[in-house]
Amino acid sequence: QSVLTQPPSVSGAPGQRVTISCTGSSSNIGANSDINWYQHLPETAPKLLIYRNNNRPSGVPDRFSGSKSGTSASLAITGLQAEDEADYYCQSYDSSLNWVFGGGTKLTVL
């Protein structure tokens, strides 16, 4: 079981909006640790998508956005495209366990 809980899968049609949740606890997200999100396609290097809760690295489309509240965080993807089909991971810092990842969410574009 991961310290950060994500749904195993989400899906949406092209053009739609989807959200991926990430639920933590008082020792990580609730302790004011930042949330980061990564996109991972098979056989490739993971890619930083959102850092420090809601910031996009250069080159990441503004269709991707992040938010955080209390002990939870969310990644939203608008205008869904076929190329967005991938695994998505949240990541944070835990006061007991150091750096932790969520279990990952597989996004399927219908």
Decide if residue 33 touches another protein (CB under 8 A).
yes
The size of the interface with another protein (CB under 8 A), counted in residues, is 28
Pick from 27, 30, 40, 56 the residue near another protein by CB under 8 A: 40
Rounded CA separation 82/35 (Å): 25
Shortest gap between Cβ of 95 and another protein (angstroms)? 8
Q: What's the chain's length in residues? A: 110
Binding mask 52-91 toward another protein (x if CB under 8 A, else -) reads x----x-----------------------------x-x-x
Decide if residue 34 touches another protein (CB under 8 A).
yes
> Smaller CB distance to another protein: residue 13 or 42?
42
Residue 106 burial (C-beta neighbours within 10 Å; 0-12, 13-18, 19+)? middle
Q: How far is CA 98 from the centre of its chain?
A: 18
> Smaller CB distance to another protein: residue 77 or 92?
92
Shortest gap between Cβ of 63 and another protein (angstroms)? 19
Decide if residue 9 touches another protein (CB under 8 A).
no
Take residue 97 and report the two structure tokens written for it: 């366990």
Residues in CB range of 3: below 8 A, 6 or more apart: 24, 25, 28, 94, 97, 100
